[in-house]
Amino acid sequence: MERDRLVPVPTDLEKDLVEYISRFRMPSDPRALFTTEKGRMGYSYLRSFISRLGARVGIKGLHTHLFRHYYASELYRITGDIRLVQILVRHARIETTTIYEHLTTKEAVEKGKSAVEKLFRGGGDLMHDYQKTWEQHKTDGSTGI
Judge if 61 and 5 occupy the same domain.
Answer: no
* 98-100-103 Cα angle (round to 5): 125
Q: Are residues 57 and 87 in the same domain?
A: yes
pLDDT tens for 41-85 read 999 998 998 899 888 888 888 888 888 888 898 899 899 899 999
- Return the amino acid letter for 86: Q
Q: Are 47 and 117 part of one and the same domain? A: yes
Query: Does one domain contain both 58 and 115?
Result: yes
C-alpha 25/C-alpha 37 separation (Å) is: 9
Do 68 and 89 contact (CB within 8 A), yes or no? yes
Confidence of residue 137 (pLDDT cuts 50, 70, 90): low
Mean pLDDT of 86-107: 86
136, amino acid identity: Q
Q: Please determine, for residue 138, whether its predicted confidence score (pLDDT) is greater than 80.
A: no
Summarize the confidence of residues 106-120 as an average pLDDT: 69
- Find the farthest-apart pair of alpha carbons in the chain and give their distance in angstroms, rounded: 88
Query: Domain for residue 108, yes or no?
Result: yes
Is pLDDT above 70 for 93? Answer: yes
Q: How far is CA 119 from the centre of its chain?
A: 29
pLDDT the model gives residue 38: 93
Per-residue pLDDT, 126: 46
Domain annotation covers residue 95: yes
pLDDT for res 106: 73
Q: Determine the Cα–Cα distance for residues 43 and 49; give it in Å rounded to an integer.
A: 10
The verdict on 115 and 47 lying in the same domain is: yes
Domain count, the chain: 2
pLDDT of residue 70: 86
The range of the structural domain enclosing residue 94 comes to: 42-140
Q: Nearest to residue 130, comparing CAs of 141, 119, 139?
A: 119
Clarify whether residues 98 and 129 are in a common domain: yes
